[in-house]
A = this chain, B = another copy of it.
């Protein structure tokens, strides 16, 4: 294990290449790998040394390269733990908390794209990372290429965030904006989103709002310092929204989007949080967010409204967020990222009767 040499190698980025291992060679993992091998970011020297995937043998055969510095392929996670990688990119679709914990315990920093890991266990895992003197970064868990984790957690760290409204699920936005544009059925829109790589064959967690709820839970921690579990966020499915609803919305001068909403009242300890399809005016940022786009409107106490938008689904957009985090760690491998202390809200409310009127 190269852990001790890590400590003595210094922090200056020129000292030695920062070694990266990827766990999970799916859409995100393969995009990160291709990018590191063929178009590496400027700045600290990064080296992809390991790729771990359950089907490493098959996938390697399809991706083998002639380069001298080809990464080591393995199907054993332990090979990553005992390797000399500095950073683990965790990009598997299944539950991954044990992998993330094991990597931190083995002295690796971790970049994860896994929203459930962070939504469920951010506090415990970030505390572990801090104690280990390593970093756990998770920009890729929310918003795809839209850097909302960094904006809320760092850029607005001096602010009091009052309210967040956002489109956080690229798949359902692609489906909704496709029904809007073509008047097709939801089934046709889903099939098309699948064909374009923005949806799984069974996008129910996307349409039902569960994916956006997990992401909103992460944003509540970052923006308000409040712990809200995904299961505590009320969701209303968009699966029932079809061409007739869009016609009606158009008559009202707008359209329909799946919006994730959170608003915190610190004095009362009350947080309102929900994910639902709501009417949005045609002139709004949300109405103009089409295809797999994500967008967020963040209202702050001092500096007014901050707006963000970017592509929210697909391997490349997620890989972009992952690589930003990899570079951040490589720039200062000894950085200390203090774990947040989340407040438990006294009350969590969901959709109010005025939801439609309230919506952006």
A158 touches B324 (CB 8 A): yes
Chain B residues whose CB sits within 8 angstroms of the CB of A328 once the complex forms: 154, 157
Encode contact with B along A142-167: 1 for CB under 8 Å, 0 otherwise: 00111100110011111110000000
Encode contact with B along A316-360: 1 for CB under 8 Å, 0 otherwise: 110111111111100110111110100000000000000000000
B145 touches A41 (CB 8 A): no
Chain B residues whose CB sits within 8 angstroms of the CB of A309 once the complex forms: 305-308
A306 contacts which of B147, B225, B325 (Cβ < 8 Å)? Answer: B147
Chain B residues whose CB sits within 8 angstroms of the CB of A307 once the complex forms: 295, 307-310
A324 contacts which of B43, B145, B154, B324 (Cβ < 8 Å)? Answer: B154
B41 touches A157 (CB 8 A): yes
Complex CA distance for A303 and B39, rounded to whole angstroms: 13
A42 within 8 A of B: yes
A99 within 8 A of B: no
Instruction: Give the 6 A-B residue pairs with the shortest CB-CB distance, closest first.
Output: A158-B323, A147-B155, A145-B303, A303-B320, A307-B309, A157-B327
B336 touches A334 (CB 8 A): yes
Chain B residues whose CB sits within 8 angstroms of the CB of A310 once the complex forms: 303-307
A11 within 8 A of B: yes
Pick the most buried of A144, A306, A332: most chain B CB atoms within 10 A of its CB: A306
B225 touches A42 (CB 8 A): yes
Q: Which chain B residue lies CB-closest to A35?
A: B302
Q: Which chain B residue lies CB-closest to A322?
A: B158
A107 within 8 A of B: no
A281 within 8 A of B: no
A139 within 8 A of B: yes
Encode contact with B along A214-246: 1 for CB under 8 Å, 0 otherwise: 000000000001000000000000000000000
Q: Which chain B residue lies CB-closest to A300?
A: B320
**Seed contacts A158-B320, A303-B319; 12 additional CB < 8 Å A-B pairs:** A12-B336, A41-B159, A43-B340, A145-B303, A146-B306, A147-B306, A150-B155, A159-B320, A307-B308, A308-B308, A331-B337, A332-B338
